[in-house]
Structures are given as structure tokens and as C-alpha cells.
Amino acid sequence: MLRREFVALVAAAPAFGEEPPIRVQLTTGGHAHDISFYGVFEGDRALRIDVNPHPSAFRRDLRKSVDVLVMYDMVDVDGEKERSNLQAFVEADKGLVVLHHALCGNWRWKWWYEEVVGGRYLMGDDAGMKKSTFKHDVDIAVKPVAEHPVVKGVGPFTVFDETYKGMWLSPKSRVLLETDHPDGDRAVAWIGPHAKSRVAVIQLGHGPEAHRHPVYRRLVSNAIHWAARR
């Protein structure tokens, strides 16, 4: 028993000369999800992940303790202090990875969707744009359309997942993955336009089929490493 614990401890410790871990805050809340989601991060030993959901997610200054913020939440950040902490983090040359239903959060915060995420799932009609739609349980054929570290090692693939349609996409976003599924928007992954932080957005990722898909896991891992400048 003791011996096994010791071995586990040694295996987890970074070897001499190894890079320090990428410190990730994983923020959830506002949307139920299958426990399989946490398996997405299995096998990436470079990450040290703290799950910090709403409402505590942005109560403190994240700049000293977090390298990459991974959002899998669906909550509008409304509090003044929470907004300024999130804004300060993004303005500090950090990393941000926005997954799936996190595209629906902050849909009325212009700075967030125009300057940071470069995309917006409309939760209601707004300024001449219609509410976005979604469709569960479809086979989505996806192909990379750009060369980028986030799609490194990723070829065309099919995933049983959920589509979003009628989103606003910034002309400044750099699209990495596309589908021609009739119930979805073309762009399913892109790089957000923020000038300082590195922002990667992946629309996919609803349920266990996506969470367990080796290509999805690779995309998320690539996105975190790129956002952390590793």
C-alpha cells in the first residue's frame, strides 16, 4: 500500500528540468453536463486543473494563479467585481478556452463577444438578429480548414454531438474547423480576435460521445497548450 502510494507520488512529480504545469481554472455552472466531461483532461499530465464554478469563479484576481481559463459554463458574469476580475485576466496576456455552451454565456456583453470570443450564441432576438438554435444527437462531419497548433494532428472526423445554428461570428475570428451539416453553422472552432490573450473557441462538446472522442480530447488539449504559449 505504502509502496504503491510512493510510486504514484514519484510519477506525479515533475522530473528535473521539466516545465512547470499549466495552471488551469476550469469554470462550470449554469448548465448540467455528463460526468464524462472531466475525462477530457485525462492523460494530459502537463495540466494542473482547479475546478472553480460559479458563483465563486471570478470573485478573486486570477492573474497570479491561473495561466489558462477553460470555460464550460453558461452564466452571465454580471457582478461588477466578477466582471473586472475576468476582464483583468483577459487583458493580461493570458489564455482562454471557450467550450460548447460557454458560447451562450455573456451574450449581451459586447466586449466579451466582439473583442474576446469573436462569436455569440444569441439566447434571444437582438438588434435584428434572430435567436440562435441547437440540435442534439446528430452526426457532425468536421474538417480542418486552417493550419494552426490547435488543429495539429487533427484530420477530418465525425462526432455524435450537438449543433448550434444562427450564431454571430466576428469577421476577425480565424476559423479552424468547419462542418457542412445543414442544422449547424459552418464554423465549429475558431481563434478569437483578442489582441493580448490567446483565445480558442470549440463549439463541440455536449455529451459523453464528444467527451470520449479522441479527436475532441486532442483539440481541447491542443487549445490549452496553445493558449498557455506552450
Q: Which is nearer to Zn ion, 149 or 208 (CB)?
A: 208
Site string for Zn ion, 187-206 (x = CB under 5 A): -------------------x
Residue 191 Cβ vs Zn ion, minimum distance, rounded to whole Å: 22
Give every CB contact of residue 180 below 8 A, 6+ residues apart in sequence. 141, 186
Say how many C-beta atoms besides its own lie within 10 A of residue 68's C-beta.
26
Q: Which is nearer to Zn ion, 104 or 228 (CB)?
A: 104
Distance between alpha carbon 45 and the CA centroid of its chain, in Å?
18
Site string for Zn ion, 10-49 (x = CB under 5 A): ----------------------------------------
Contacting residue, 44, 76, 161, 162, with Zn ion by CB under 5 A? 162
Contact between residue 112 and residue 197 where contact means Cβ atoms under 8 Å apart? no
Site string for Zn ion, 87-126 (x = CB under 5 A): --------------x-------------------------
Distance in angstroms (rounded) separating the CA atoms of residues 124 and 137: 23
Contact between residue 145 and residue 194 where contact means Cβ atoms under 8 Å apart? no
Q: Does 211 bind Zn ion (CB under 5 A)?
A: no
Q: How far apart are the first and last CA of the chain?
A: 36
Q: Does 217 bind Zn ion (CB under 5 A)?
A: no
Distance in angstroms (rounded) separating the CA atoms of residues 20 and 212: 27
Q: Does 73 bind Zn ion (CB under 5 A)?
A: no
Residue type, 117: V
Say how many C-beta atoms besides its own lie within 10 A of residue 95's C-beta.
25
Residue 229 Cβ vs Zn ion, minimum distance, rounded to whole Å: 29
Residue 188 Cβ vs Zn ion, minimum distance, rounded to whole Å: 13
Residues lying near Zn ion in the complex (CB under 5 A) are found at 101, 162, 206
